[in-house]
Amino acid sequence: MSNVFIGAKEYFPGIGKIPFEGRDSDNPLAFKIYDANKRIGDKTMAEHLRFAVAYWHSFCGNGADPFGPGTRAYPWDVASDPLARAEARADAAFEFFTKLGVPYYCFHDVDLAPDAEDIGEYERNLKHMVAIARQRQADTGLKLLWGTANLFSHPRYMNGAATNPDFNVVARAAVQVKAALEATVELGGENYVFWGGREGYAALVNTQMKREQDHLARFLAIARDYGRSLGFSGTFLIEPKPMEPMKHQYDFDSATVVGFLRQHGLEQDFKLNIEANHATLSGHSFDHDLQVAADAGLLGSIDANRGNPQNGWDTDQFPSDLYDTVGAMLVVLRQGGLGSGGLNFDAKVRRESSDAQDLFLAHIGGMDAFARGLEVAHALIEQSPLEQWRTQRYASFDSGAGAQFERGASSLADLYAYAAKASEPEQRSGRQEAYENLINQYLLR
């Protein structure tokens, strides 16, 4: 076992670099499917999947829920000085990233550095921690998939950040976005995320919805301009979520955000970061929201997790359902990959999972689940009749009157004339069961 650790202290003793051991291994601390350098088509698994670890769930969240405190006492959370705790947390985080073997991580400003109401102190804390993270990135080769600002935890944001009815709060939110953009640029972040947790309403009766949404668009535009002025050439990402914490959130789902971006002329700089559990919260499936974003040319990145069919909230569990990961990777492969995006595990171990090892097991499982999704989706596209079946289903639009209609060259009267000459259309089965059987057949191969 190699002793990979970063700072003065090892935070995950007894756990070395996670190896790939293949499907026959029973070692819980080994990958069974994810083999970073294995080629799938024209790219390696690592290049396709671009995994990232979420700083907040993995190093800040300790299992607390509305009914009780945390269940995990973290060894990096002991110093009385908040900056010293942040430094220890960064050591633990980079040790974890390295041992796990992921290329990327993601953070909110206040995951990395202690928050402060005094703006100068907040900025100093963040700059201090960014310098440390920059050094750790250089030491380990880790990269930043995206940075973001937490505009939902501090009580000042209870009525919203960019959509707050009070301009003073909107301006205060800009302090954090400016600092988080600077941090992201300083760390070479490839994307910058906006998740509007409080951008919505608790009650429509006290809300001017259009005004709030216009403010949001304006805020995003000036944040974009500031980022570009710093030389940020990456993608800005909006992460849809329909509700929780608010009763209604403006970035409801993919379709809503696509429309919003186009309405406000933001679609050149902004794409979507689709989170599985947010898609299901909005009443869609994960692959539905991915497909809507992809069809708009706006699928930028993925927050990989899953909900729980029995619960109505954002349980942020680690992805383990292979059917889900196959569905997601079909969309990703068909659009030619995630570009500068990646698969960020915006997921937390259960409150009941109290061993240090559980964090590794959770990520190993999630990485294997997506690696298998990748293998199966690739085989379905390249080897199975799936794509041919789908194309065949629309064959009547490939030539003749159907092609003319698709080109926009037919009138309603043309269609009438065509139908009047033809006989009653032949019944064509949708063959859903055949498609589902095909997926299972390839999953079992």
- Active-site residue 321, yes or no? no
Please choose which of Ni ion, ligand XLS, none residue 92 contacts, taking the beta carbon within 5 to 8 angstroms, the exact cut-off set by kind. Answer: none
The whole-angstrom separation of Cα 415 and Cα 211 is 44
Stretch binding Ni ion (CB under 5 A), from 60-68, 162-170, 180-188, 267-275: 267-275
The whole-angstrom separation of Cα 305 and Cα 302 is 9
Please choose which of ligand XLS, Ni ion, none residue 148 contacts, taking the beta carbon within 5 to 8 angstroms, the exact cut-off set by kind. Answer: ligand XLS
Nearest residue to ligand XLS, using CB? 195
- Cβ proximity to ligand XLS: between 90 and 279 the closer is 279
The whole-angstrom separation of Cα 133 and Cα 239 is 24
The whole-angstrom separation of Cα 344 and Cα 58 is 12
- Active-site residue 26, yes or no? no
φ, ψ for residue 300 (rounded to 5)?
-100, -40
- Cβ proximity to Ni ion: between 304 and 376 the closer is 304
Residue 39, beta-bridge partner list: 44
What is the smallest separation between the CB atom of 314 and ligand XLS, expressed in angstroms?
Answer: 5
The one-letter amino acid code at 73 reads A
φ, ψ for residue 27 (rounded to 5)?
-75, 115
**N- to C-terminal Cα distance for the chain?**
33
# residues contacting Ni ion (CB under 5 A): 4
What tokens were used for 67? Answer: 């009914």
314 lies in the site for Ni ion, by CB under 5 A: yes
- Give the dihedral of Cα atoms 355, 46, 371, 331; nearest 10 deg: 120
Query: Which residues have a Cβ under 8 Å from the Cβ of 62 and sit 6 or more positions away?
Result: 69, 70, 71, 72, 73, 74, 77
Please choose which of Ni ion, ligand XLS, none residue 123 contacts, taking the beta carbon within 5 to 8 angstroms, the exact cut-off set by kind. Answer: none
What is the smallest separation between the CB atom of 232 and ligand XLS, expressed in angstroms?
Answer: 18
- Cβ proximity to Ni ion: between 114 and 197 the closer is 197
- Cβ proximity to ligand XLS: between 193 and 367 the closer is 193
Residues that bind ligand XLS (CB under 6 A): 108, 148, 193, 195, 239, 241, 275, 303, 314, 346
Stretch binding Ni ion (CB under 5 A), from 204-212, 297-305, 403-411, 415-423: 297-305
- Cβ proximity to Ni ion: between 287 and 303 the closer is 303
Catalytic residue positions, numbered: 108, 111
Binding site for Ni ion (CB under 5 A): 275, 303, 314, 346
